[in-house]
Amino acid sequence: MHFLVAFILSLAVIAADRNSDFMGDLRSALLTLLDPIERIAQTPKQVYQNLTTDFTSFDELKLENERLKTEMLLLKAKQQQLIMMEQEVGRLRALLGTTGRVNNSTFQIATVNFFSSNPLSQFITINKGALDDVTPQQTVIDAQGVIGQVISTTPNSSRVLLITDPAHHLPVRIQRTGQRGILSGNGHDNTQLNFIPKSSEILVGDLLETSGLGGIFPSGYPVAVISKVISRDSDPYYEIYATPLGQLNQAQQVLILKQQRDPFATINTDLDTEIKPNQQNTPNIKGLDGTAINPDHPGRN
């Protein structure tokens, strides 16, 4: 019975709301009352969604930050490589700039693998050897000047005796005056110029260059600068010290020179000890092929 009454009332209310707006105010009032409750009911969901979004954004930002840090590290590493390459190019340009002074010589670039700091044995090891046609007594220079000569080789490396080694002796001349002397190492990253008489004109700061005497070192390469001149009463020669120009301790790339023989230097001017008729006081000159040349009649033998 109660159900039937409720059903009939419901149909009456629906019919009345359909044909008139008298239920609109009541509906609005109910929705106004229910809105705060609905908001409160949705709060946990919104809080969950916000937290989830925040944590997701934080993780994404963290990953992005790590990625950017990694990229920055790689870029810095590449930047260091570029700086190193720029320095390498600068060193090679400076090194190759010395080739303008090479006369009748061939050269090749080598890398320094080892440096001996022992005062009694100063040498470097380079990565060129017998397989690269390196032979003993070849001159070795860097961008600033002569640093030594090859003393021994293996198939893939060579030992270079530095000019500061006590066993090294180098014929040099003072560029300003042409005075010749012998530059010897003293084993302490320094050199000493010997056999310069007190009658010679020499000043601190004078440049020493290779004289070419002996045929091992090519002429005209800078070697050292005079740093100290001492005059002792009991000695007819000056006591002279010179600072090498080459970067003996810092050199990374060097040039190995191989001086080519001048073809005109093969002419032998030995005098014939036996004087024959019609050839008195005539030198016995040999040509490039070893045959004798008559200076009075160049076209005849």
Burial readout 222-236 (b: 16 or more C-beta within 10 A, e: otherwise): bbbebeebeeeeeee
Number of domain units in the chain: 2
- Note the pLDDT tens digit of each residue in 14-60: 666 666 665 666 666 766 777 777 778 777 777 777 767 666 677 78
Pair 168, 293 in one domain: no
pLDDT at res. 140 = 94
- Note the pLDDT tens digit of each residue in 203-217: 999 999 999 898 889
β-bridge mates for residue 181, sequence order: 172
E strand or H helix at 47 = helix 24-97
Q: Strands 253-259 and 139-141, how do they pair?
A: antiparallel
E strand or H helix at 37 = helix 24-97
Top-confidence residue, 300 or 160 = 160
Q: Strands 169-174 and 158-162, how do they pair?
A: unpaired
Number of other residues whose CB lies within 10 A of the CB of residue 244: 25
Burial readout 276-294 (b: 16 or more C-beta within 10 A, e: otherwise): eeeeeeeebbeeeeeeebe
Phi first, then psi, for residue 244 (nearest 5°) are -60, 145
Contact indicator for 133, 260 with CB cutoff of 8 Å: no
β-bridge mates for residue 225, sequence order: 207, 243
Pair 109, 220 in one domain: yes
Question: What is the domain range of residue 279?
Answer: 261-301
Mean pLDDT for the stretch of residues 121-126:
94
Pair 238, 276 in one domain: no
Contact indicator for 125, 162 with CB cutoff of 8 Å: no
Integer Cα distance of 166 and 119 in angstroms:
8
Pair 153, 233 in one domain: yes
Pair 149, 243 in one domain: yes
Is residue 236 very low, low, confident or very high in pLDDT (cuts 50, 70, 90)?
very high
Q: Kindly report the average pLDDT of the chain as a whole number.
A: 78
- Note the pLDDT tens digit of each residue in 243-288: 999 999 888 889 998 765 544 444 343 433 343 444 444 444 444 3
CATH number for the domain including 133? 2.40.10.340
